[in-house]
Structure 1
Amino acid sequence: MNMIAFDLGASSGKIYLGSFKDNMLNLKEIYRFQNSCIQMNGYLYWDIISIYANLEKGIRSCIQESSEPVVSMGLDTFSNDYGLVSKSGELLSCVHCYRDKRTQTHRQEIDRILSARERHFLTGNQIAPCNTLMHLAAMRLEDSGFMLDYADKLLFIPDLLTYFLTGCQISEYTIASVSEMFDFKTGSFHPRILDAYHIPDRLLPTVTMPGTVVGNLSNALCEEWNTDPFPVITVCEHDTASAFVSAPCEESSVIISSGTWSLVGIEMDGPVINETTCRYNLANEGGVPGRHRLMKSVMGLWILQEVQAYYNAIGMDISIPEMVQKAEAAKPYQYLIDPDDPIFFTPGNMPLHICKKCELLYNSAPSGVGELVRCVLESLAFKYRWAIEALKEATGMSLCDIHIVGGGSNNRLLNQLTADICHRTVYAGPENAAAMGNVIVQLIAHGQIKSIEEGRSLVKETCPAVVFYPREAEAEACEEQYKKFVELISK
């Protein structure tokens, strides 16, 4: 049987054709397109029209490529962003990017309505400027709040794209759970949050669990593509949740979904909300039933992507692998930064931001690409260890190895630094983890496999992990530098 998996990230969109035959899982990338936020008049937006047009092209290509009828498709994307739809089904406005400055502008006013602490204990979510709630609250505090009163429905990006394909409107659980508006106790949106920020509850469709058939492709699209109707299934629509599904790990493993963001987390039976999760700003996030996630969001390879974008913009074309190669030759532990410093959150001249921060901390700055990239990668690995220590403290669990999945699992230097600095064996891969998880949930929905464990066994056979062991020779230096890093970020 053949299935389509759409995986939209902050830097690219990928459409895969997944096949399951003779108890073997195969995933083939059929179509890819570039994706990035667009700055216009001081605001950041996604080109949702272009995203949808590319989605259509990808689906058509998969139908043409498939040797047998496609039986279903699933969509997963980054979280928090949404479109507002009228009663007639029209998209009412541009789709803002989660990095848009409007939430930072109104942060103090938003916190005065309900404190960050109160919101964390109500929702279990991290408090972050990217959260859906922050953007809706900012709309109320600006002159665009009227749109919330006029709109009929708010649809998160994967639900919006599903609506364009099927005409059906839902809020998928994993992506709703990270909006800072969700109540894990009731499994629905939290009335206290909605009332406080004047968000009409009619905007939010019924929460739907992963593995649910939403509806078939519209008749118009089936006719245009000369295909029989097939259903769209709610997979774990939050791409991090999908990536975690495919991580071939054991209990008590740490999973890092490494890409534009680095999401450092563990799987739990249910939410963990306490003083420690509040202090460390940890996030409770929904997953496949029985696989709740407790997470720490780290800025991730976004910083590296922005460094590359700056160099390319000034005519110094350089790839990420070339940057990492230069970092390997640079002297270790010269400069460390906190990757989650707000200065690194928005697009801009990232090398300048890093150098300014280092000047402030060290009275000197990285010289050249190698030192700059080494600074970023070492800092990320130290922040991973800090996040793991926070997860241990919040849960009392004894955490063992680390599984790195997603595009960042190809970064061998970061993988080795993570093993050395965290004193844990690192298993890297699969690279296309979100798409793998997407297909696994579709297979479970079709009754082809019985469980996530069975799906992970398929991933192990399909994509054997690359293993990185902590080097004993690095242990003393790593320990000394970690103490310096903790002191640095505590300031």
Structure 2
Amino acid sequence: MNNYIAVDIGASSGRLVKGTLHNEQIELQEIHRFDNSFAEKGGHHYWDVDYLFAEIIKGLQQAKQEGVDSCTLGIDTWGVDYVLLDDDGKRIHDVYAYRDGRTAQAADQLHQAISRSAVYSKTGIQEQPFNTLYQLYVHDSDQLSRAGQIVLVPDYLYYRLTGKIMNEMTNASTMQLLNLDTKEFDADLLALLKLRRDQFARLAAPGERLGMISPELQKRYDLPACELIVVPTHDTASAVVGVPAAQDKPWAYISSGTWSLLGVERSSPLNTPAAMEANYTNEWGAYGTFRFLKNIMGLWMIQEVRREAQNSHNYAELAALALEEEPFRHLVPCNDNRFLNPDSMIREIQNSCFETTGEAPQTIGQLARCIFDSLALTYRDSIHELQELTNETLEAIYIVGGGANNELLCKLTADIAGVEVMAGPAEATALGNIIVQMISMGEVPQLHDARRLVASSFKVKKFSPDPIQEQHEIFARWEQIKTKQIKSKR
């Protein structure tokens, strides 16, 4: 029986998950879990990538202790954040976290030199203040000139394990530097940043067998004999691979975690002016696909509220408290940048509500209800946009990731959007990571077969839409709140 290990690292936690195929079922076992967060230093926010590497080593040691002598290994993390390496392969600078405030004005500054429409036409990537394009634009020019290689976080972790440099393409696409036509780094954008193509490693596709873990590491730490497989290193790209869409009817996905990524899988990009206006992105996916999706603020909001409340409730308790509250009383436009990294999420939500309606949520239950109602309404907006942009009627929405466990949010989404919701598996990201390893090693033929395997291996809960009382009034008030928010920005 082959052992496949997924290293799956998100913005708040990471884990190593072992997958095996037994009796035509995928079986998962969590081997090691660890916390993750960025930290403030000298007025900026950074990731501790040495810590992440050390935790991967700990997880592999644990796997060896549990009898795993050999395995394949794939790594996925979040996108956009990068590591600068000198000509000797040493880090030049700490790794900035994408929520750091240094890029607040970067987009406006960069687009004085090249228009937003020109960049979108080239890359198809939505404008987000934290995109790598904008991060590099404001990065110290001396450090950039000394960089022999610029790689994203998961590519760096692969490098630490194998000594081999590459830029995995699904994650590289989030940099807003890849050209949709040439399938390469865009020469004009590199020139604007005063960077060269040879400062970026070759693009590698999911499924490539990269090579064995460093013999030195294996011996020093008593690790399994690991063959590194290039997986979709952007966690959303792996999560989409793990969607159990075994049916042929048109479907969308919501990869629901710290962020909610809502979109469809396409065989070609859709970088039209209308798609740009709606701020949809065309990130590259596994096996020649594109993730046509929209970033929505996601469960970050409830994570921060919970943290500020000293973690006094778990997420199931927060959903139960929300269920007891009056629905749709308090609403906020989730994608407002004020919620990206506020000093206090609770205060920011309260201020937003007060600015638009004159009252604000006070209890933890009211805050949770505000977040879940607002997220569901934001999902509805994006689903309608998505159908208009693709000229396709969606018949199912698959919610995967941690948000699949939130039955209140899943049911709200079905009711408000008027579309059947299929929730699960929560482990879609690790599953997608492992599936690509299985396909690479020939144990599963192709993606379609893998998705059928996921559907038969894991429970997926269906939520059918029911009518909402006074929905027209709710939708009208939601539009007013969004309009007031836009006016207040001006």
- Output the TM-score relative to the length of structure 1: 0.95
CA distance in 2, matches of 1:206, 1:232: 17
Equivalent residue, structure 1, for 2:482? 489
Equivalent residue, structure 1, for 2:184? 188
Matched-pair contact (CA < 8 Å) for 2:117–2:273: no
Q: Which amino acid in the other structure matches residue 445 of structure 1?
A: S
CA distance in 1, matches of 2:427, 2:385: 28
Equivalent residue, structure 1, for 2:414? 419
User: Is residue 308 of structure 2 the alignment partner of residue 307 of structure 1?
Assistant: no
Residue 11 of structure 1: CA displacement?
0.5
Residue 347 of structure 1: CA displacement?
4.2
CA distance in 2, matches of 1:347, 1:220: 43
CA distance in 2, matches of 1:115, 1:221: 47
Equivalent residue, structure 2, for 1:291? 289
User: Is residue 436 of structure 2 the alignment partner of residue 441 of structure 1?
Assistant: yes
Equivalent residue, structure 1, for 2:33? 32
Matched-pair contact (CA < 8 Å) for 1:258–1:407: yes
Residue 263 of structure 1: CA displacement?
0.1
Equivalent residue, structure 2, for 1:252? 250
SS of alignment partner, residue 112 of structure 2: helix
User: After the TM superposition, which of the residue ranges 301-310 and 15-24 deviates more from structure 2?
Assistant: 15-24
Q: Which amino acid in the other structure matches residue 159 of structure 1?
A: D
Query: Gaps (5+ residues) in structure 1?
Result: none
User: After the TM superposition, which of the residue ranges 351-360 and 386-395 deviates more from structure 2?
Assistant: 386-395
Residue 201 of structure 1: CA displacement?
1.7
Q: Which amino acid in the other structure matches residue 372 of structure 1?
A: L
Matched-pair contact (CA < 8 Å) for 2:64–2:224: no
Matched-pair contact (CA < 8 Å) for 2:212–2:225: yes
Matched-pair contact (CA < 8 Å) for 1:306–1:347: no
Equivalent residue, structure 1, for 2:94? 94
Equivalent residue, structure 2, for 1:277? 275
CA distance in 1, matches of 2:41, 2:315: 27
Residue 318 of structure 1: CA displacement?
2.4
Equivalent residue, structure 2, for 1:106? 106
Aligned residues: 481
Identical pairs, percent: 34
User: Is residue 323 of structure 2 the alignment partner of residue 328 of structure 1?
Assistant: yes
**Structure 1 residue runs of 4+, over 4 Å off?**
none
Matched-pair contact (CA < 8 Å) for 1:149–1:200: no
Residue 443 of structure 1: CA displacement?
0.6
- Output the TM-score relative to the length of structure 2: 0.95
User: Is residue 347 of structure 2 the alignment partner of residue 342 of structure 1?
Assistant: no
User: After the TM superposition, which of the residue ranges 192-201 and 210-219 deviates more from structure 2?
Assistant: 192-201
Which structure 2 residues correspond to residues 77-476 of structure 1 after superposition, within 5 A? 77-139=77-139, 144-227=140-223, 229-249=225-245, 250=247, 251-312=249-310, 317-472=312-467, 474=468, 476=469
> After superposition, what is the alpha-carbon deviation per residue over 1:431-472, rounded to whole angstroms, capped at 9, x for unaligned?
111000000000110011111111111211221101111123
Q: Which amino acid in the other structure matches residue 474 of structure 2?
A: Q
> After superposition, what is the alpha-carbon deviation per residue over 1:222-259, rounded to whole angstroms, capped at 9, x for unaligned?
21244564321111110000000010124520100000
> After superposition, what is the alpha-carbon deviation per residue over 1:269-305, rounded to whole angstroms, capped at 9, x for unaligned?
1101101111101000111124321001000000111
SS of alignment partner, residue 231 of structure 1: strand
CA distance in 2, matches of 1:248, 1:112: 44
Residue 41 of structure 1: CA displacement?
2.5
Q: Which amino acid in the other structure matches residue 186 of structure 1?
A: T
CA distance in 1, matches of 2:42, 2:474: 42
CA distance in 2, matches of 1:450, 1:49: 36
> After superposition, what is the alpha-carbon deviation per residue over 1:105-138, rounded to whole angstroms, capped at 9, x for unaligned?
4332122122222211110000001211110001
Residue 378 of structure 1: CA displacement?
0.5
CA distance in 2, matches of 1:253, 1:483: 27
Matched-pair contact (CA < 8 Å) for 2:63–2:224: no
User: After the TM superposition, which of the residue ranges 159-168 and 269-278 deviates more from structure 2?
Assistant: 269-278
Matched-pair contact (CA < 8 Å) for 1:218–1:229: no
User: After the TM superposition, which of the residue ranges 201-210 and 101-110 deviates more from structure 2?
Assistant: 101-110
Q: Which amino acid in the other structure matches residue 341 of structure 1?
A: D
Equivalent residue, structure 2, for 1:54? 55
Q: Which amino acid in the other structure matches residue 138 of structure 1?
A: V
CA distance in 2, matches of 1:106, 1:226: 45
